Each structure stands twice: as structure tokens, then as C-alpha cells.
Structure 1
Amino acid sequence: MALELRQQLKLAQRLVMTPQLRQAIRLLQLNRLELSNALQAELEQNPALEEELSQNETTELSHSLSSTLENLEPGREEDYTERVAVSDNLSEINWEDYANNFDSNFSFAHEVPAADAPSQFDFISAKPGLSAYLQWQLAHAELDDHEWDIAFYIIGNLNRYGFLEVDLDEIMTQAECSRDEAEYILEVIQDLDPPGIAARNVTESLLLQLERLGMADSLAAKIVRDHLPLLETRNYKALMRATGHKKSEITKAIEYIVKHLTPYPGLPYAVESTNYIVPDVYVRKIDGEYVIHLNEDDLPHLKLSSHYQELLNDKELQKESRHYIHDKLKNAEWFIKSIHQRQRTIYKVMESLLKFQYEFFEHGPGHLKPLILRDVAEDIDMHESTISRVTSNKYVHTPQGIYELKYFFSTAIPRNGGEALASESIRNTILKMIQEEDRSKPLSDNDIAEILARENIQIARRTVAKYREQLKILPVKHRRHAR
């Protein structure tokens, strides 16, 4: 067939997403923090969109403006620049008044604050981490410039656990030093606080700590150095055979390791900011009934600009300006409608979840029922994709705690002779069983499956293992403790 160009007409139907529809979908999947940023960005970009002030704020602003205008004399410009008396007598200033003191009840009287009053330096947001702590200790060591470069490179390659992530060869290459210099600086850093810092692995870290305690030749050091896998599994019989010591001696050595040593010495100095969850929805029980309240605190209330609406009615306005203002007002109106639609959708979804999972709100996670997106979508007459967007990255504050909306959806586990249970309810049951088990004889995955089977919950051992791993619970050999 010959290749050629031709034109032809074709009639077809297809769904095209308009920019307004894309914007509505994007707003629907934003969490509360992202929504606040989106509102502020739209306020900055669209001049036809304004923040609606509350009645009290409007009254205070009008009163302040009228008071200012009344004090103005007609025909005279007033300079409101603060008048500051300048003095050249710097020697008369008592600089002790500007010392590092903080008085919450500030007054102009020269009162001495309480001794336990906080300093303004206590409010500095940046917190020193492990690197700063080690550098502060090294300041007392007598190191030359080249040794400082090596020390900085080593400290910079410590991870959050305090372990060194590079070997000596890489230190020699990057810091341009000899092996003796690298080993010397590494030993200097390993002598710093906390004990066990700058080790290459857990074994070396524990041995450095035991050496600092004067127990380099003890049974605990031998167990750490030669039999760490047996220590991790608490295999007392294998440790007795390997070391030739009695069980009481093995138990005493392990207890000392657990109580006095830490496998991750740098972890307490890790500087990590805590990310707090701000709920998007509140569900409170008031007078025996659950009330849903959307969290709109600190979110600006938007409205169309009255000034731009008046300009649009100006007959003398140029055509280009009229089109510009019309487009901006149209976009602002659609944005406000999208926000309202988003809030109504979240409310309807939460109302449906409350209906399906009422027993959870009353009694807790153990009473969570099987639920899928289709159930909620059919209940409120929406598409499953809409429900998925609404429940992603959004949290609800309930009488049982704060949960992500996705938490309420769970697959069904069949139950012989009874109602099906949610998989999350099974996980909660497994968690309680392990928390209440005998530490000397912990439950294996097979034991848990047999106990659940006696309660008419038929799940396989591998399913129990999967749920246990999802709960971040160690296997039975790691949970066993000697009496």
C-alpha cells in the first residue's frame, strides 16, 4: 500500500477534562495543609479573589480607619514616623539591662527575674545534633588542620544510628591521608561520647561500649564478638554449648548487655522534627449522637472581589480589560464552588463511614466491619475513584483516636457460622494475643492460627505471619525471654 497524506472526517465521542474539572479533582485529593497552601496561592494569583473578613475584623478595621481620618487636619499631610530621641551619651547606657534575661511579666521597672526563668536562647528552633555534639568535644582535642579535615569527613559520614558508612580506604582517598592518620582520627572519635560511636556495625559498637566499661574480656564481650546471632534469638542452649558456661551466667551476661548497652548509640542525638497530624474532620459524640464537623480553622473564607465586579459593569472599560476581568471572576467563582463541593463531598463520605462503621466508633478497632470503596460509593451515589481521592491523606478525630479515612476500608475474612470480620479487626486481635502472651513461651504463628480457628476464624499460618509483619512484631524466636 502506497504511503500518502489524506484528510478525512471522523465522528467520535470522548471524555475531555476541562481545566476547571482538573482543578476540582486536584482540590478533592488535597489534605488540609495542602489545601491551605492552595488557597493562599490562588489568592496571590487571582486578583478577583478576596479573603472574606469576619464581622468583628471588619468592624475593628473600619473603626481604626475612621479614627485615623478624624485626626487628620484637612489640607495638611501628617508624618506618622516614630520620633526617637537620639543621644550620643553611650557611656550613660547601662548595658546590664540588656543581659541574657527573660521576664514573661515584662515591665519597665528594673526587677530581677526569677532564677529559673527561661532564656531567649531556649526558644531557638535549631537543635544541635550528633555532628555538632562530636565537633564540640573535638574542640578540646589538639588536632591540626589536616586532622580536622579527616575528622569532619568521618563525622559527616555517620548515619542517624551513629555508624560509620565508609571504610578506611575511602577515608584515605577522600581525605587524602595515610592509613595511620585515618585510624588515629577514627580512634579519637570513637573515644568520644556517646560510647560506641563511629563503629562500623552493631558488634563493634557493643564491644566499644564494653571496652569503655572495662569489660573487654568478659563473657558478655565474648557473646557479642562471637555469638551475636545466638544472642539475637536468645538461644540459651546453643550459647551454653558454644561458651561452656552455665545458664545462670549466660542469663546474667545477656541481662547486662540489654540493660547497660545500646546497639544504636547515635539514635538519641538524631535531630528529627515531629510531624503532627491535623485532622480534616472531627466526629464527636454529643448528647448520645455523633456529630460531624469539618476542620476549617485557619482556612481563609473566599469571596469574589466587589471592586472587580463593579469594574465589569463599567461601560467605558476597554474590550481586552473586560475579557481579562471576566475570566478572572469566572475562575474565582469556579474555584469557590470547587472548594464548597470538596467540603460537601468529604462530609458525605464521613457520614457514610459513620453509618457503616458505627460499632467502631462505639467500641473500638476490634469491631471494625468489612468495607470496600464500592459500598460507600453506592451509598452516596458517587464514583469509586472519587471516594478514593477523598479518603487519601485525610484524617479524622474520633472518640477512639485519630485515624486515616483509608483505615475504615478493610477486606472481609469469612467466619464459620458467623458474620465476616474485617482484616483490621483480625490484626487487632493478633496484637492483643501477643501483648498478653507468656514471654517465656511466646505464641508461634501456628499457635495463633489454631486459637483463631477455635473462635471460628479460619486463616492460614502464612496469613498470620503476614499480619504479624504488618504490625511490625518480631517472630517467636526473637520474642522469647528466659525466666
Structure 2
Amino acid sequence: MTLAPRLQQSVKLLQMSALEFTTAVEHALATNPFLEDADEQDADPPAAAPSSVPQAPGRQEDASPETPVPATDADPPPPDAPAYSGDYPTRASGDGGMDQAQWACASLSMRQRLSQELGNYHLKPRDRLLAEFIIDALDDDGYLRTPLTALCDTARPEFDPAPEESEWMTALHLVQQLDAPGLAARDLAECLTLQLAAAADAQPRIQALALRIVRDHLQRLAKNDCAGLRRLLECSEDELREACALIRGLDPKPGGRYSADAPAYVIPDVFVDKWHARWRVLPNRHAMPQARLHQTYADLFRRARLDDRSPMAQELQEARWLVRNVEQRYTTIQRVAEAIVKRQQTFFEYGDVALRPLMLREVADDLEMHESTVSRATVGKYMVTPRGVFEFRHFFSRELATESGGSCSAAAVRALIKEMVDAEDPAMPLSDVALTQQLAASGILLARRTVSKYRGQLRVPPAELRRQH
């Protein structure tokens, strides 16, 4: 099937995230003379919330789940509406306010940081170039996975004569001295060794013991073989415990800290709060440009009686399409959000353990939409709630049977597993079999391999790696 141009634009706008949508509309405002920004001057809710900072105010008392109330112009936020603290990026207001995101400094990448620090050293051009080659070859975790022989082949055209292995090793050791310890390591053992060597506050005896473990017995440490390590290292239990704690406090991926320097921001599409014992959905329109038809230019064009097939006529048509499709996008996302809140009200009261099974088809049937439309309206769309910032997709989870004949969601089961792990005895962590048995005691019958899969999705290590002596 071939979609009409207006329908193509509608589908494209709906599947965009808020940030992509904002960029697309701002581009249209800048290039189409028949569009203008109808940014309102009313007070707005916060325009963006950081995905990494969940808000968790206490659950309101004497509250009963009700149908979510859509926001209207006649229904402003109450004075006691939930506040979402933090200096979040917002669009510039009509009073000349500055976009707060413009105040943030651009964070340097790992390679930029290392190159910048390399500039503090007085080096010969040849030595500096060798170090730059190594910096460019680092992966995102900060490791040098490329063998030096392969670097020699790559760099050969740049040098005359070709660098010797000793020159590469000198450059490598220099890069390993830059910024965070552990960078430019060729494997995990070398990464941890570099960090231990830089641990100035460690006790010499414990530091030497940790170095021996990292260099010679890393596999035994991974298996938590404490008895074998004590036998091989001939040390006391307390010394081994301190050495293992020192190693576990190191960073196995030192390059990851650079990508985490800047906070991850999302622009929420809606806000969900409780007012008068009802959950309601408030659109976050003012975080994004408000496009409308520039009526003065449209009237001038109409009076000019130009050819309907002229480029200006095409731009006017596209402007009308954009205005209608933008409004349709807001309406669709609002309706989908209200349908989600209506079905997941127990989540807003009690958290993840109360998430009920929900499929896209249920929302599509209720709203009389196609399932693909609901799918586009949930991917990359976020809502700010009293329990944190969640993607719409968080509320969709497949159904699992229970012993009583009822059902629960896979997300609720994952939440239960997380609660069990958090409450376990660190000296005797729960195995996957034990977790399966505890779930069965709660009436949730799952195979052990399913529990193992859910535990892995939660990024919880196996029991033998969680055991603390």
C-alpha cells in the first residue's frame, strides 16, 4: 500500500521521541514561511526530567484507584500537584528566559580527555603521534583490544622509519599514566593491576596480595573459591577478605565513566499525578514548539492568486498538514497514556509488584486504533509519575499464570525477584532454585531457567558471585 504524503508525515511524527519531534518541528518553523511558533506564555510544568533520577514521594492515604482525568485548559494543576525537583532543560520562554541546557558545558569524550592531557607533556612529534594512535585505538570500555602489531601496520605510512616495538611500549605506558588508572589496558588483569598500582591508600600487604590474585588467580576469584585462594596464597581469612574487597572496589571498565559524565535527560510527553483521589494525565506540550499557521502570510498568498502548483502553494499545503499532524500526535499520545494509567492504577499505588499484564492489543481495541499506531505511540515516549520517569513500554508486560488460576505480569515477577535478592542473607544468597521455590510458595509457578533469565535481566549476578564471607 502507498500512503498519502499527509499520512506518511503523521506516522513519522508519531513514532518520533519528544526530542526528535522537537527538532523536526523547529526545522519546519525555520524553513516554512507559512508556519509560526505559537509558544504560549502560561506557566508550565517542568519541561524535562532526568531518566536517571526517579522521584518517589509517599503514597497518598485514603486514595482509591479511579479513572484517569484528562487535563484541560479549565482544569489547571492544583497547588499541591507533585513537584519534580531539579534544573531540567526547558525551552526558552517568551520573557527572554534562557534554555538551561545551554548553560551546561559540553563533556569531553574519553579520547578528547586523554588527548588534552597528553598536551601537557613535552614530547617529540614522533612520540606524541604514537600515543595518539594508541588513544584512537581504545574501545568504549577504555581497553586497547588491537594488538600492537596491528597498530604497526596501520601506522606504517605515517612513520619513517617504522616504529619499533619498544617505541610502542613506551607510548603505551605513557597513555596508561593519563587520567583514570586502568585505561589502555590490554586485558582485565592488566586493567586491575594498573588500578591497584595507583591505589596509594591501600595497605602494602593487602595491596601485594591483591596484585597476586589479579595476576595469577583471577579465575578463582570469579568463582569465589576462597578456600583455594587461601591455600595458594598462604594468607589468613581476614587478609584474603580485605584483598578481595579491594579488588571488587576497582572499575573493570574505566572507559565507561566518560560516557556517564553527562546526566541522561529525557523530555517527558505527559505528567501523571493524583488530584482529588483520581489519577490524571497532563500533557507536556510547552516543552516542545507549538506550530501554527501564519495566517497573515496565508491570506496574502490567497489574495495573490498564484498558481496552485507553485512551490509556495506546496509549502502552504505542507504547513497545514504539519499543524494537523502535530495536534493529532498530541491527541494520540494523550489517549494512549490515559488508557495505560486506567489499566495500571495499582502500579501507581503500590509500585512494580502490582503491574498487571497488559498487551498493545488491549489498548488498541479500547481506543479503536490499529495496534501498530499504539506501538508507535509507546516507543520513546515517557511519563513523569510520583514513582519516577518511565517509558510507556514499561507498563506492557506479558501474562504469567499463577497457581490460583489467576495471572500476573512478568514485570511484577522481576520486581518480586529483586525484593527477594535485596532481603537475602549476604552470607547465604538465594540460588535460582531457591528463588523458584519462594515464587512457587507465593503461587507463581515458573521454570528455574525462566527465573534465571529474569535474574539476568535485572543484572543480578548468580548466587555464588553474590556470596560475602
TM-score, scaled to structure 1: 0.74
Alignment correspondent of 1:157:
137
Which residue is equivalent to 1:317?
305
CA distance 1:217–1:24, change in 2 (3 Å) = closer
Contact 2:143 2:186 in 1 (8 A): yes
Q: Corresponding residue for 1:110?
A: none
Describe the SS at the equivalent of 1:402. strand
What is residue 79 of structure 1 aligned with on the other side? none
Tell me how far apart the structure 1 counterparts of residues 369 and 125 of structure 2 sit (CA, whole Å).
68
Is the CA contact 2:142–2:184 (under 8 Å) kept in the aligned structure 1?
Answer: yes
Q: 1:310 to 1:258 in 2, by over 3 A?
A: closer
Contact 1:51 1:301 in 2 (8 A): yes
Which has the higher mean CA deviation after the structures are superposed, 409-418 or 129-138?
129-138
CA distance in 1, matches of 2:235, 2:113: 40
Letter in 1 for 2:305: L
In 1: Cα distance, 2:111 partner to 2:24 partner:
37
Q: Matches of 1:428 and 1:375 in 2, distance apart?
A: 23
Which of 312, 321, 327 is the aligned partner of 1:334?
321
- Residues 159 and 53 (structure 1), Cα distance of their counterparts in 2 relative to 1, 3 Å cut: closer
Amino acid in structure 1 at the alignment position of 2:191: S
Q: Aligned-pair distance for 1:258? A: 3.4
C-alpha deviation, 1:53, in angstroms:
6.1
* Mapped partners of 1:141, 1:309: distance in 2: 62
Q: The residue matched to 1:456 in structure 2 has which SS?
A: coil
CA distance in 2, matches of 1:35, 1:52: 16
- Which amino acid counterpart does residue 128 of structure 2 have in structure 1? W
- Report the Cα offset of residue 186 of structure 1: 2.6
- Is the 2:110–2:258 contact (alpha carbons within 8 Å) kept by the matching residues of 1? yes
Structure 1 partner of 2:52: none
- Which residue does the alignment assign to 1:101? none
Distance apart, 1:245 and its partner CA: 3.9
CA distance in 2, matches of 1:127, 1:309: 44
How far off its partner does 1:130 sit?
Answer: 4.8
* Residue matched to 1:93: none
> Partner letter of residue 163 of structure 2?
C
**Kindly tell me: are residues 424 and 181 of structure 1, through their superposed partners in 2, closer, same or farther at Cα, counting changes over 3 Å?**
same
Aligned match of 1:360 in 340, 344, 347? 347
Give the equivalent residue in structure 2 for 1:4.
none
Deviation at 1:351, TM superposition (A): 1.6
Deviation string 1:144-167 (CA, Å, 9 cap, x unpaired) is 222222222223323344322332
Structure 1 residue aligned with 2:248, among 258, 268, 282?
Answer: 258
| Alignment-mate amino acid for residue 232 of structure 1 | A
1:302 to partner: Cα distance = 3.2
- Counterparts of 1:271 and 1:417, CA distance in 2: 45
- Give me the whole-angstrom Cα distance separating, in 1, the residues matched to 2:207 and 2:312: 83
Change (3 A) 1:304 1:446: same
Question: How far apart, in 2, do the equivalents of 1:288 and 1:479 lie?
Answer: 42
CA contact (8 A) 1:308 1:325 kept: no
In structure 2, what is the Cα distance between the partners aligned to 1:140 and 1:43? 45
RMSD, aligned α-carbons: 2.9
Among 372, 382, 394, the alignment partner of 2:381 is 394
Q: Quote the Cα distance in structure 2 between the aligned partners of 1:405 and 1:124.
A: 28
The structure whose Rg is larger is: 1
Task: Give 1:181-196 correspondences, 5 Å limit.
Answer: 181-191=167-177, 194-196=180-182
* TM-score (ref. length: structure 2): 0.76
2:413 aligned partner: 426
Distance 1:365 1:221, change over 3 A: same
Identify which range, 262-271 or 416-425, moves more after superposition.
Answer: 262-271
Aligned sequence identity (%)? 35
Equivalent residue for 2:125, pick from 137, 145, 170:
145
Task: Extract unaligned runs of 5+ from structure 2.
Answer: 43-102
Deviation at 1:470, TM superposition (A): 1.0
Offset at residue 463 of structure 1 (A): 0.4
Shift of 1:474: 1.1
Matched positions, count: 399
One of 292, 297, 300 as aligned partner of 2:289: 300
Q: Does 1:168 align with 2:170?
A: no
2:337 alignment partner, SS class: helix
- Give the superposition deviation at 1:24: 1.5
